[in-house]
């Protein structure tokens, strides 16, 4: 479904992506992890056709991609912050109608209703504005909009990073269900190894614009990574280990209560 | 028996009709208390209420709010300003918004030193370099002369911590101090915080959405939901949490180990 060979991308004099190759089978979910500046988000933007200064060979759904790529119907992207990607003065209805209008889809109303239903939103959400929705609901709208033209490939850039933990879990479950039901191919970019492990089968670890290691999620879980940077990420993802011992007796027990409602 | 470092009882923060924080109460000594909750839980407002640094339009009330026996509700603006920075310090999520972009970072730390005591410029510089070294900045002399935009996020946060420690505070309030940082950098900044809090025997309030982090870093955890403390736990007894909201937070943590 996705075939990338020696992809490179530049920002002026800076090489953000430096000779990256990978392939993703149809229906597979491929994760890209790395820290800020690793080039992971730029790589995703190249796949989405949102970054023009790139070179290498890229085939999406059997179609080799040219430098300037207009038709984005086969690939859609969901961003980290739905507040930034939804127009603040457009209702949910308008946000979903737009891609349908661009592609001259007749009778858009049932498609919009079905798209909302697919992401677990109610009909009443249809005429709301982004500020009238919660963060999780906004991200559901962004996913509905990305899927309304039924692309086979969905690109996800930190789709849960701006959300609270309990909402994050719901969005992950939604993405898992949609992939299963629609046989979608995902490329997920995240700094969070645990989220990548939940959603993907394979993971590429990026550092300084290159893929330093590619491993299966089973290998990731078993912590059998070879590259030192992957090991460092794995160690950091276990959480901070306190070195200094708890305070012996900070406050007598009796004084702790003070109106605590527990 | 000396007064606890901090006493809070029946703390409330209101925005007009909206009760953002209600009935919050706890007391702490020179220990580490974590406040955990999701957005809108009131955890950050609670931290700011202690420093009386609330946004305009917020109304603060409490039956008691005292720091080392000093009644913060009765303290005047001058008294609060003297306490902040010197005995009470605050570290926020993003150092980019807290550092002055037009001044080299070393100069900003030196200013903090000079504000807190009668030091000559040379003495302040010496202490600044010592502090940069204490927060594990490898080349203190070089970093001293850099502007905030020339340093990384992790280094910026260590500079912020250095500046806050300049006043030798008794209580440090850290609100999501590592949330804007990459995971490997988070660990470095937490190690600095861990060491300094212990070495200086400070009290720490760590405010975060990250239950695991708070439980590992602190002695006690207060769980907040919609403006109230729903549960107080010893950090080591996190798994014994009873409240459904805490249980839900625990269950929602993404896990690498289990599918």
ipTM of the complex: 0.71
Which residue do the tokens 């030193």 mark? B113
DSSP code, position B49: H
Q: Which long-range contacts (CB under 8 A, 24 or more apart) does B177-182 make?
A: B177/B91, B177/B92, B177/B93, B177/B206, B178/B213, B179/B93, B179/B208, B179/B209, B179/B210, B180/B93, B180/B94, B180/B153, B181/B153, B181/B154, B181/B157, B182/A35, B182/A36, B182/A191, B182/B153, B182/B154
Q: Are residues A70 and A138 in the same domain?
A: no
- State which residue of chain B sits closest to A237, comparing Cα positions: B183
B122 in a domain, yes or no? yes
A254 in a domain, yes or no? no
Say if CB A181 and CB A132 are below 8 A apart: no
Q: Are residues A172 and A226 in the same domain?
A: yes
A174: domain CATH number is 3.40.50.300
Name A57's bridge partners.
Answer: A5
Q: Are residues A8 and A19 in the same domain?
A: yes
A261 in a domain, yes or no? no
Q: Are residues A15 and A65 in the same domain?
A: yes
Q: Do residue A166 and residue B211 have CB atoms under 8 angstroms apart?
A: no
Q: Which long-range contacts (CB under 8 A, 24 or more apart) does B112-115 make?
A: B112/B85, B112/B163, B112/B164, B112/B166, B112/B167, B113/B166, B115/B85, B115/B167
Return the H-helix or E-strand segment holding B101.
none
- Measured CA to CA, the distance from residue B5 to residue B2 in angstroms comes to 9
A50 in a domain, yes or no? yes
Chain B residues touching A244 at Cβ < 8 A? 194-195, 197-198
- Measured CA to CA, the distance from residue B259 to residue B250 in angstroms comes to 15
Pure H helices in chain A: 40-48, 82-85, 92-102, 108-118, 135-147, 165-182, 193-199, 217-221, 228-237
Chain A residues touching B232 at Cβ < 8 A? 260, 262
Mutate: best of A250, A254, A255, partner B, most B CBs <10 A: A250
Q: Are residues A6 and A62 in the same domain?
A: yes
Structure tokens at A78: 């969901």
How many structural domains comprise chain A?
2
Q: Are residues A135 and A187 in the same domain?
A: no
Q: Are residues A59 and A95 in the same domain?
A: no
pLDDT band with cut points at 50, 70 and 90 for residue A255: very low
A256 in a domain, yes or no? no
Print the domain residue range for A103.
Answer: 90-150
pLDDT in tens, A149-179: 999 999 999 999 888 888 899 999 999 999 9
Q: What average pLDDT does range A182-192 have in this prediction?
A: 94
Residues 6+ apart with CB under 8 A from A28: A1, A185, A186, A201, A202
Phi and psi dihedrals of A178, rounded to 5? Answer: -65, -40
How many structural domains comprise chain B?
1
Q: Are residues A175 and A111 in the same domain?
A: no
- State which residue of chain B sits closest to A37, comparing Cα positions: B182
Q: Are residues A70 and A106 in the same domain?
A: no
Q: What is the DSSP string of B240-257?
A: G--SHHHHHHHHHS--SS
A37 in a domain, yes or no? yes
pLDDT band with cut points at 50, 70 and 90 for residue A252: very low
A246 in a domain, yes or no? no
Q: Are residues A68 and A103 in the same domain?
A: no
Chain B residues touching A172 at Cβ < 8 A? 254
Q: Do residue B184 and residue A232 have CB atoms under 8 angstroms apart?
A: yes
Q: Which residues of A touch B (CB under 8 A)?
A: 35-36, 135, 164-169, 172, 191-195, 197-198, 220-221, 232-234, 236-237, 239-244, 246-247, 250-251, 255-256, 258-262
Q: Are residues A231 and A107 in the same domain?
A: no
Look at strands B64-67 and A153-157 and give their pairing: unpaired
Phi and psi dihedrals of B95, rounded to 5? Answer: -60, -20
- State which residue of chain A sits closest to B217, comparing Cα positions: A242
Q: What average pLDDT does range A131-152 have in this prediction?
A: 92
Least confident of A88-97, A243-252, B4-13, B209-218: A243-252
Print the domain residue range for B149.
Answer: 6-252
Which residue do the tokens 């839980």 mark? B41
pLDDT digits (tens), chain B, 259 positions:
467 999 999 999 999 999 999 999 999 999 999 999 988 899 999 999 999 999 999 999 999 999 999 999 999 999 999 898 789 999 988 877 788 999 999 999 999 888 877 889 999 999 999 999 988 888 899 999 999 988 888 888 999 999 999 888 999 999 999 888 888 888 888 998 999 899 999 999 999 999 888 998 999 999 999 999 999 999 989 889 999 999 998 988 878 875 5
Q: What average pLDDT does range A212-226 have in this prediction?
A: 93
Among the candidates A101, A135, A150, a domain finishes at A150
Among the candidates A126, A150, A174, a domain finishes at A150
B258 in a domain, yes or no? no
Look at strands A2-11 and A54-60 and give their pairing: antiparallel
Q: Do residue A135 and residue B231 have CB atoms under 8 angstroms apart?
A: no
Phi and psi dihedrals of A161, rounded to 5? Answer: -65, -25
The arrangement of strands across the sheet holding A14-24 comes to A14-24, A2-11, A54-60, A63-64
Q: Do residue B183 and residue A35 have CB atoms under 8 angstroms apart?
A: yes
Chain B residues touching A133 at Cβ < 8 A? none
Torsion over CA: A86, A91, A96, A100 (sign): negative
Which residue do the tokens 């490179």 mark? A8
B127 in a domain, yes or no? yes
Helix, strand, coil tally for chain A in percent (to 5): 40, 25, 40
A252 in a domain, yes or no? no
* Residue among B3, B197, B224 at smallest CA distance from B233: B224
The SS3 assignment for A229 reads helix
B147: domain CATH number is 3.40.50.300
Task: Out of B153, B209, B219, name the one closest to residue A246 (CB).
Answer: B219
């Amino acid at each position: 479904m996705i075939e990338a060979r020696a992809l490179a991308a530049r920002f002026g004099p800076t090489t953000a992506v430096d000779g990256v190759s990978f392939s993703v089978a149809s229906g597979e979910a491929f994760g890209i992890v790395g820290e800020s500046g690793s080039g992971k988000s730029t790589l995703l933007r190249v796949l989405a056709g949102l970054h023009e200064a790139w070179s290498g060979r890229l085939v999406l759904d059997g179609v080799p991609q040219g430098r300037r790529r207009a038709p984005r119907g086969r690939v859609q992207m969901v961003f980290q912050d739905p507040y930034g990607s939804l127009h603040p003065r457009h209702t949910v209805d308008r946000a979903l109608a737009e891609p349908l209008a661009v592609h001259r889809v007749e009778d858009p109303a049932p498609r919009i209703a079905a798209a909302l239903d697919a992401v677990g939103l109610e009909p009443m959400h249809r005429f709301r504005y982004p500020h009238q929705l919660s963060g999780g609901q906004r991200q559901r709208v962004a996913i509905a909009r990305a899927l309304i033209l039924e692309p086979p490939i969905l690109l996800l850039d930190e789709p849960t990073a701006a959300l609270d933990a309990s909402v994050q879990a719901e969005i992950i479950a939604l993405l898992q269900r949609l992939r299963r039901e629609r046989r979608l191919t995902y490329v997920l970019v995240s700094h969070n190894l645990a989220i990548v492990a939940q959603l993907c089968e394979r993971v590429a670890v990026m550092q300084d614009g290159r893929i330093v290691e590619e491993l299966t999620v089973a290998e990731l879980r078993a912590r059998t990574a070879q590259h030192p940077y992957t090991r460092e990420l794995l160690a950091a993802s276990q959480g901070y280990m306190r070195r200094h011992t708890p305070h012996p007796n900070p406050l007598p027990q009796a004084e702790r209560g003070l109106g605590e409602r527990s | 028996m000396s007064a606890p470092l901090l006493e809070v009882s029946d703390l409330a923060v209101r925005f007009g009709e909206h009760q953002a924080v209600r009935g919050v109460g706890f007391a702490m000594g020179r220990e580490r208390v974590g406040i955990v909750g999701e957005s809108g839980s009131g955890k950050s407002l609670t931290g700011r209420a202690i420093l009386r640094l609330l946004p305009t339009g917020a109304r603060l009330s409490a039956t008691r709010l005292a720091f080392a026996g000093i009644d913060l509700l009765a303290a005047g603006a001058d008294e609060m300003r003297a306490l902040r920075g010197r005995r009470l310090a605050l570290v926020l999520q993003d150092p980019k918004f807290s550092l002055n972009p037009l001044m080299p970072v070393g100069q900003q730390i030196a200013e903090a030193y000079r504000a807190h005591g009668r030091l000559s410029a040379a003495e302040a510089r010496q202490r600044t370099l010592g502090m940069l070294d204490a927060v594990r900045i490898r080349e203190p002399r070089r970093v001293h002369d850099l502007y905030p935009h020339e340093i990384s996020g992790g280094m910026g946060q260590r500079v912020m911590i250095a500046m806050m420690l300049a006043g030798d505070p008794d209580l440090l309030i850290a609100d999501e101090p590592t949330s804007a940082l990459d995971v490997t950098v988070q660990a470095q900044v937490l190690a600095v915080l861990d060491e300094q809090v212990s070495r200086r025997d400070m009290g720490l309030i760590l405010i975060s959405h990250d239950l695991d982090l708070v439980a590992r870093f602190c002695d006690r955890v207060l769980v907040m939901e919609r403006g109230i403390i729903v549960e107080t736990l010893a950090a080591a007894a996190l798994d014994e949490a009873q409240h459904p909201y805490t249980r839900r937070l625990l269950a929602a943590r993404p896990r690498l180990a289990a599918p």
